Chains A and B, each alone.
Chain A
Amino acid sequence: MQDDAAILVEDLHKSFGDVQALNGVDLRVGRGTVLGVLGPNGAGKTTVVRILTTLLNPDRGRALVEGRDVVREAATVREIIGLAGQSTAIQEELTGRENLEIVGRLYHLDKPAARRRASQLLDQFELSTASDRPAKTYSGGMLRRLDLAASLVAKPAVLFLDEPTTGLDPRSRIGMWEIIRTLVAEGTTLFLTTQYLDEADELADEIVVIDHGKVIASGTAETLKDRVGGNVVEFVLPDRSRLADAAGAVAALADAEPSTEPDTGRVAVRVGSRGSDALVQAVRNLDSAGIEVDGLALRRPSLDDVFMALTGHAAETEEPVGGKRGRKRRGRAAQPAEQAPTQGGPR
């Protein structure tokens, strides 16, 4: 069973001082498949990546990449992995080509081979026209592509992408997805961490959800969505005192009890696979109850919904401790605009 696993993680523990970053994580990634690791900031995603890429030793448990122990056979593991995402191999003063050639030399390609590989990757990632410009003139999306290219110089069998699209605009994000899909089609095993359910949905064969250093759910995107309860109708009350009335008015739409947030006046109702008809019904019910609302919207399930469904609490946005060193600057506020609520309503 073990020999067809590209990544095998057993009972991984890691703490930084008093903070228990990983609290017994088990994972298995089949060769040539994509595992999406979903979780909020500070859940332990990056700590797992850092252990698997030999940057950090676990306190307990073991991790194998292509059958090699990441602690005892770290040097061999480094030969077969690629890493991109939150860290960068790119020096912005150097051109795209120089960056890739230097990485090629660090992987001990000879000069002509490093040059060939750089050109090949620049073509593949549509950076040829910018290849001789300093990387600091690149857009955010181009920089991520260049960095991803750098991680692929030695054609790794296992690729780790730590939040590869966090902070990118929607168009660059979809561009990254296409590139990642091509890599996966070529047989690369991919370990992908993300804060976005739709990203995991698009790319991953299997998803695990991590919270507080533990795997709290795993399965395909479909199974997870079923557990979430599908689409959500959501609105905000300007008058918080009518929260209970509002919940009552829309209760008939829901598969489950509507959730309310007294602090913000937000009400969310899970409506399963129903779409705009649920929205129309919500408007009618609220109108006949004489309740005024702001920002009524229908939206697809988000990471927050997954968390609400799995843990009963919202995805927290506390800053990660240890293992990351504040390198991660973007919180959930940077959630791409295309994930904004689908506006709807009667006209």
Chain B
Amino acid sequence: MSAVTTARSGARAATPATGLGRRMRLGTMDAFTMTRRELLIWFRVPAYIFFTIIQPIMFVLLFRYVFGGAIPVPNSTYVDFLMPGIIAQSAAFASFGTAIALARQIQKGVIDRFRSMPIARSAVLAGRLLSDSLRLTLTVLVILGVGYAVGFRFHNGVGPAILMLVLGIALGVVVCCISAYVGLAIRDEESVGSFGLVWLFPLTFVSSAFVPVAKMPGWLQAFANNQPVTIVIDEMRALALGGPLALHAWQSAVWLVGILVVFVPLAVRAYRRV
């Protein structure tokens, strides 16, 4: 045993000791290692880059030039109306990756291995969400650039413009938390993929993202007007184009924080049970 102990201490840089400070430092380190790992993987797979960058660009062009001409919007050009919506929709769709990656890692036993290692319990989820947030931020910035190229302009100054982007990214991160729970709870890559379509499509398309809600049938308006994606997009639009901010601001905040309060604990619990 003494030989093993010597060898082990040679390989281990840090000496075991408890204490909240040390645990938090190591936990942060673990989360960053995980983030780096996930970003490195993302960078290696052309298909992931396609879904993160090319697909959102195609959506922008599709709606701007194919559908846009047929959709009249009040008090604005369609491209100005569209961009806040499509930023929010793309940010939300980025969460597909969160659920699918977690389900795949469970299936392959990667999560098991991490759980058998002396790393912070929170590190896998934190690294996942942090890398996904960086990824969707990139998506949002790319879309914004393309939007500018096809005629979109902010009409309300720099401060609100930045706030709009932050709000879009925040929506994406919150939806990633829901997706993390879905991925950990369902655990099967294909089922997670199909289930993602079932809830993400209605949530983003039956909203004010692409068309004014007033053009939908009444029963659908009831849903579209009161669901969080519409509320967040309306606030983003007010920030980008000008208009009353207050009402949708606090509603957005309540929704986003509310979803986090429910789904973060659910995801953590599902992770512990894997």
Contacts and interface: CB of A to CB of B under 8 A. Distances in A.
B80 to A, nearest CB: 39
B119 interface: yes
A151 B118 CA distance: 12
Nearest to B105: A91
Contacts of B4: 155, 157, 187-188
A54 B116 contact: yes
Contact of A89 (B10, B13, B26, B113): B113
Interface size class of B (residues with CB under 8 A): 35 or more
Contact of A88 (B8, B36, B113): B113
A327 B29 contact: no
Interface size class of A (residues with CB under 8 A): 35 or more
Contacts of A153: 11
B114 A106 contact: yes
Contacts of A150: 113
B14 interface: yes
Interface stretch (A74-82, A173-181, A231-239, A334-342): A74-82
Interface in B91-136: 106-110, 112-119, 123
B109 A91 contact: no
Interface stretch (B37-45, B56-64, B246-254): B37-45
Contacts of B112: 50, 55, 83, 87
A106 B33 contact: yes
Interface in A99-117: 102-103, 105-110, 113, 117
Contact of A55 (B10, B108, B115): B115
Contacts of A88: 108-110, 113
Given A78-B117, A106-B30, A31 B44 contact: no
Interface of chain B, helix or strand or loop or mixed?
helix
Contacts of A304: none
A113 B13 contact: yes
Contacts of A108: 12-14, 26, 29, 118
A325 B41 contact: no
Contact of B117 (A31, A76, A86, A107): A107
Interface in B1-35: 1, 3-5, 7-8, 10-14, 16, 26, 29-30, 33-34
A46 B110 CA distance: 16
A105 B120 CA distance: 13
A247 B29 CA distance: 68
A79 B26 CA distance: 14
A187 B29 contact: no
Interface in A48-66: 50, 53-55
Contact of B1 (A31, A54, A79, A327): A31
Given A93-B41, A157-B8, A110 B116 contact: no
Nearest to A160: B116
Nearest to A116: B11
Given A78-B118, A102-B36, A154-B8, 13 more contacts: A76-B16, A81-B116, A86-B109, A88-B109, A106-B30, A106-B33, A106-B119, A107-B12, A108-B26, A151-B113, A153-B11, A155-B8, A325-B106
